[in-house]
Amino acid sequence: MSYNNNNYPPPNYPPSDQPNYNQQQQDNTYHVQPDMERINNDYNHNKTDEKYPQQSQDFDQSFKIEKPRFNDWYFTIFFLLVLGGFIAVAGIVLNALRSTYGDQGSGIYGSSDSFTMNRNTVILFAFVLVLSIVFAALGILFVRAFAKTFIIVACILNVIMSIGTAIFYFVEHYYSAAIVFLIFGLFAAYCYWRARSRIPLSATILRIVIDVMRHYPSTLVTAFIGLVISAGFGALFSAVIVGTYVKYQPNADNTGCQVGGGSCSNSKLIGILVFVFFAGYYISEVIKNTIHVVISGIYGTWYYLSNSDQGAPKHPALSAFKRAITYCFGSICMGSLLEAIIQLIRQLINIARSQVDSLAGQCGLIILNFIVGIIDWLVQYFNKYAYCYVALYGKPYVRSAKDTFDLFRFKGMDVLVNDMFINVALNFYSLFVAYLSSLLAYLYLKFTKPGYNSDGGYYAPVVAFTFLISMQISRITLSVITSGVATFMVCLAKDPEVLQMSQRDELFNEIQRNYPQVYEKITSNH
């Protein structure tokens, strides 16, 4: 892709009174490209370099992998084994669920099953899935119309909610949780106040990302297909959890113990539930990350090739999907495994908290959950950018992780501040949807009065699981925005001049006004 100075306006570099960012950096991998001649020379020097995709209407030729191979293929095999195990367990427990239909009742009311979760709970989870899908879709429309307001309101509400929760726990004398939420609230308020000048940049990026969605409807189609698959798997996951209780809950009245698949015992119930939760989280993460890789490929196509001489590749979504499930699938499975293990640990900690009554035990588990939560956030945040490199350059997971480390090393604060605003806004909306779903679950159990919850013992697990499922569904729906933002930031950090040359000059100038450091460029040594 050779850029012609006659076809594109010259770079609008900062005037002489702007800081010389290049002189502030001693590492020669972090520099400002000085002029168009340097850009063309860099590109023409090595046509196979990852800096610029090749001009072609074929996606595989544009984002070329020099030696096509199945990266991290052994993790693909592991994932297929886990998927096979989950399908086998699902077949056993769903058969038990079907065979004990008469004990569970045929609707919301009238269930004779009073010892464990039943079809009443399956109907609840169906309501939750529909609610999550509708509100997540409305969220995308609201973000585009009121990007800046959306960010500001979400950040302020995030602070109010954290401090309000802390005050509530102080009133209830739950001091350990109160201190944690108070620290979170004060830290969020401090970050917002110090970095509020960056909000216009984040709002601009949000608008750009959503406008690209309009130009490439395949982003929305991909997100919708991913949402349908995720919702379908979420429904299956919910049914398998209910079926596991029906099949393996030890109770003299449990007719599910007589159905094929083994006898009932607490050890089997716990062991199978652990596997089901792990497999469910793992499969969900693979689905989510595959969607992210496909959408990243579409946004990369727009950034580099939308205004190229030969035009952008045709059907970038299909081509990116083909790459995601072939050469890059092992890398997706590798990163998703780390996320699934951490999420399983968090779920086990939450279950343990519901079983521990001592103050010391509760405090210890809260601290442990806090630490694991930070690790979970770091891994997911890191993976989001690593998968952008996987999508654009077809690199193995470890090499993509090294490039991501370079990105955070030199652009980390810029990326973090931008994501802080955008992710807080989107995550707050996902949290809002999850809270609505949890409230629905509580009211549902309260008014339908299933027999298994006569003593209120199932309020906590059902509400908690509803919260997690709803949060996951809404996050996947909004992933089209977060994937676009992450891909845009990676491309802007590596090749800012491409945006200025190939896109509208007004767009680049708006970014430059709010972010003068856009001229600083990172080139990877890996």
Q: What is the length of the chain?
A: 526
Summarize pLDDT for 120-161 with one digit per residue, the tens.
666 777 777 777 777 777 777 777 778 788 888 888 887 888
Determine, yes or no, domain membership for 77.
Answer: yes
> Looking at per-residue confidence, does 185 or 254 come out higher?
185
For residue 376 the two structure tokens come to: 């979970």
For residue 280 the two structure tokens come to: 């469910």
For residue 433 the two structure tokens come to: 């949807």
Summarize pLDDT for 111-122 with one digit per residue, the tens.
544 444 456 666
- Whether 337 and 151 have beta carbons less than 8 Å apart is answered as no
Determine, yes or no, domain membership for 353.
Answer: yes
CA distance 297 to 299: 6
Q: What is the pTM of this model?
A: 0.71
**Residue corresponding to tokens 């109010």:** 160
| Phi, psi torsion values for 18, nearest 5 degrees | -80, 155
| Residue 2: pLDDT over 50 | no
Enclosing domain of residue 506: 61-102+122-522
Determine, yes or no, domain membership for 506.
Answer: yes
| Residue 85: pLDDT over 90 | yes
The SS3 call for residue 394 is coil
The SS3 call for residue 398 is helix
Determine, yes or no, domain membership for 151.
Answer: yes
Determine, yes or no, domain membership for 32.
Answer: no
Q: How many CB atoms lie within 10 A of CB 206?
A: 24
Determine, yes or no, domain membership for 110.
Answer: no
pLDDT attached to residue 84: 94
Average pLDDT, the chain: 76
What's 241-308 look like in SS3? HHHHHHHHCCCCCCHHHHCCCCCCCHHHHHHHHHHHHHHHHHHHHHHHHHHHHHHHHHHHHHHHHCCC
Determine, yes or no, domain membership for 301.
Answer: yes
For residue 120 the two structure tokens come to: 């009443």
Overall domain count for the chain: 1
Determine, yes or no, domain membership for 258.
Answer: yes
What is the distance in angstroms between the CA of the first residue and the CA of the last residue of the chain? 22
Fill in the amino acid letter for 168: F
